[in-house]
A and B are shown apart, each in its own frame.
Chain A
Amino acid sequence: MRFPRLQALALGGLLLGMTAGAAALDVKLDSVRDSVETIHNGQVVKVERIQDLDHKITGSFAKTSRKCPPFCIQPTQVDPRVRTVSEIDIFDFMENEVVAGTGIIVDARLPSWNKKGTIPGSINIPFTVFESSPSDPKLVDALYKLGVRKRGEVNVVTRFLEKLGLLNGHLKTDDWDFTQAKKLILFCNGPWCGQSPRAIRALLKLGYPPERLAYYRGGMQMWQMFGLTTIEP
C-alpha cells in the first residue's frame, strides 16, 4: 500500500464529500457530523447511518446468543496497556490517522467472515497471521503493511545499547523494528468475538508498541446495530 498515494486519494475523497448542511440527515454520526468518508481499495466510500427510523437489523448480527465457549463475551480490556475504543473514535481515526497515512483499521477476522462485509477503509489481516512464526512470509508481509520491518543481523553492541533504552530500543526487538509502526484499531465480530483480542495479544507478544494499538470491542455487531455503512471487500 503506497501511503503517499493513499493520502492524496483520501484527501481527495474527503474533499469530495463531507457536507454539513447541504443534505442534512436526521440520523447523524454524532452532534456535528452527518458522515465521514474514507478510502476502501482505492475508492471513496461514505460512512453514514441508516436513515429509516423504523429499521431493525436482520441477519446474523441480530442474534442474541451463540455457544459459549467458544463465543463468549469478551472482557472490556484485552490488555491494560491497550485502549478500548468506540465508534466515535473510529470516525475520528478515519478523518485523521487514516487520511494522514499514520493509522490503519484492521479487520482481524478470518477471510470467510471478512468477505461478508467489513468496515470501510479497513484491511483484512486474520488473527492467525499474527500468531504465525516470525519467519512466516505472511507475517512479514502483514507487518510490512503496518510499517514494521524485519531486522537482519544486529550488532551485539547495538542490541546491548537498545536494551538499555538507547537508539529507540523500546521500539525494537531482536526480530522487528517498530519505529515506523502505524497506529492500529483492530476489530472483529463484536463483544462475543475473540479474533481481534487474539490478534492484539499476538501483536503485543511480537513487540508491537501497545500505545499504538486499540481495540474496537463493538466490532461488526455494534457497527451494524448503529446502521453504519459496511462494504463487501
Chain B
Amino acid sequence: MIRRTPRFRPGFGRVRPLLWLALTLASGLPLAAPADAYLDALKEEANAVQVDPLTREPVAGQAPSPAGAAPTADATEGKGMPAGLTQAEFEDFLQKKYFGSFSFYRKLPRQKKDAVFQAYSQRPDIRFIREQIKQTYLNQ
C-alpha cells in the first residue's frame, strides 16, 4: 500500500494567521477595547496640557494674581456704609454697592427687611449688616 502523506500546500502558512484573525473576530473577542483606547488618548493628551497661567485665580489667602488678572479681594471690604439713609435709599445702596447682600435681602419678607434696616440704623457697618442678612435668611 502506498501511503500518501498530505503535501505541503504552498501559501497555507500565510493563510493561517489570517484564518486565526477571522476566527477571533467571529468569536466576538475584542482585539482592543475602544473605551480603553479613548482613555489612553485622554491621558496622553492630559500630559501635554499647559494652562494659561493668567486665568488661574488663587484662593483667598494665597499669592496675588499676576498683573492683568482679576483681583481676589473685595475693594470695599472694611469701608463703612453711609449713615442716615431712608429704607429706600438703604436698599438702593445695597443693590448698587453690595449686590450679593442685596440678592438675599430682597428675598426676605417685609417684616424681616424692616428688622435689617433697623439694625443698619443702629450700626451702619457693612460687615454687621451682611451678618444680619445672612442670619435672617438662614433662620427663615
Contacts and interface: CB of A to CB of B under 8 A. Distances in A.
A61 interface: yes
A120 B49 CA distance: 19
B57 interface: yes
Contacts of B98: 15, 18-19
Contacts of A7: 138
A228 interface: yes
B134 A12 contact: yes
B89 interface: no
A70 interface: yes
Contact of B50 (A23, A52, A59, A109): A59
A169 B100 CA distance: 38
A116 B75 contact: no
Which size class do A's interface residues fall under?
35 or more
B55 A229 contact: yes
A51 B54 CA distance: 10
B70 A22 contact: no
A110 B130 contact: no
Interface string B77-111: 10000000000000000011111110110000000
Contacts of B50: 58-60
A71 B41 contact: yes
B55 A57 contact: yes
Given A8-B134, A110-B46, A113-B46, A229 B51 contact: no
A45 B38 contact: no
B69 interface: yes
29 contacts: A12-B134, A18-B103, A19-B75, A19-B76, A20-B97, A20-B99, A41-B59, A43-B60, A43-B61, A45-B60, A50-B70, A51-B68, A51-B69, A57-B52, A57-B54, A58-B50, A61-B51, A61-B52, A62-B52, A66-B45, A70-B38, A71-B41, A71-B45, A110-B46, A112-B46, A116-B51, A128-B39, A224-B51, A231-B57
Interface of A: 7-8, 11-12, 14-23, 25, 33, 35, 37, 40-41, 43-52, 55, 57-62, 66-67, 70-71, 95, 109-110, 112-113, 116-117, 120, 128, 194-195, 224, 227-232
